[in-house]
Amino acid sequence: MTGYGIASFDSGKTKYTVEIKSLNSKFLELSLRLPKIFSEKEFQLRNDCSKQIDRGKVNLSINVEQANSNVKAAGIDRELLKHYYNQLKSVSDELNEPGGNLLQLALGLPEVVKYEEDTVSDDEWKLVEKTFQQAMAAFQQFRSDEGNVLEQDIKYRIGIILKNLELVEVEEPKRVPVIRERLNQFLSEAVGAESIDKNRFEQELIYYIDKLDITEEKIRLKAHCEYFVETLKNADANGKKLGFISQEIGREINTLGSKANDANMQKLVVGMKEELEKIKEQLLNVL
């Protein structure tokens, strides 16, 4: 799920800024952007992120700003430089070649110019680590706040599905008279009203209506919705479980639609499907 957290610490000489961002992903994908001095700490940072973040496409960046931007001077090995220069001059004299750029060539040879390698002290790393934990706390709070909003939205949509189910129960009894009239009219036009066997007609009508009975589907759909809300309240990571329950809800809604045989009920079923699709989209953000 999405998330964002940032924290900074300014010691007066150095300012450390840690930023954590994430987008939706089925798995945990970590991308770290660190200064070279913290490269050896990458494994530790990845391990800390894995312990606290279940999934998401996560980008972690650490920025270091020095108050005094003095460039550290490089060191020159004078004796080695002289040695290289004398050798180059000797070869140049033997070949009778001009030696105007010998010093520049000598400076480019191995080990002549040495740069001081940046290292991070234990005290400095503790400050960075503390800043990282502060950014992580802000990141997790962002996710928690987003989760609360998602929870309310999903509960609202489950409520709409249950409300439509109540309306389906209101419309359901109205089907029998309509079906009876429709079949009676069809038979009258086909064979004539006087040729209809009333007893046989009632038997076939009962059989037909029994095929369209949705009692079991209504019970299961209500139970699935209640179980969904109950699971949503759990503190554990239940995103996948909620996804499975939503699939069961979808099956019952589809069966209701196939058995409805009524325009008003079909409209209510379409409304349920629409809300369920929105729920499934939101579940991609739920851990």
pLDDT of 166 > 90? The answer is yes
Average pLDDT over residues 160-168: 95
CA pair distance 136, 53, nearest whole angstrom? 9
Q: What pLDDT sits at residue 164?
A: 95
Kind of pairing, strands 113-114 and 75-76? antiparallel
The CA–CA distances, whole Å, from 260 to 26, 162, 171, 224, 267 equal 36, 16, 10, 20, 10
pTM of the model: 0.64
CA pair distance 108, 87, nearest whole angstrom? 14
pLDDT of 185 > 50? The answer is yes
Q: Where are the beta strands (DSSP E) in 153-218?
A: none
Q: What pLDDT sits at residue 71?
A: 47
Q: What pLDDT sits at residue 62?
A: 93
Angle CA(157)–CA(267)–CA(166) in degrees, nearest 5? 55
Class of residue 99 by CB neighbours under 10 A (exposed 0-12, middle 13-18, buried 19+): middle
Q: Please state which of the four CATH numbers 1.20.272, 3.30.230, 3.30.420, 2.30.29 is assigned to the domain occupying 3-70+122-141.
A: 3.30.230
Joined together, the tokens standing for residue 256 give: 């209701």
Range in 68-77, 95-104, 127-136 with the lowest mean pLDDT: 68-77
Q: What pLDDT sits at residue 155?
A: 94
Query: What are the two backbone dihedrals, phi and then psi, of residue 37, each rounded to the nearest 5 degrees?
Result: -70, -20
Comparing 115 with 42, the larger pLDDT belongs to: 42
List the domain boundaries for the chain. Answer: 3-70+122-141, 75-114, 143-283
Which percentage of the chain shows pLDDT scores above 70? 82
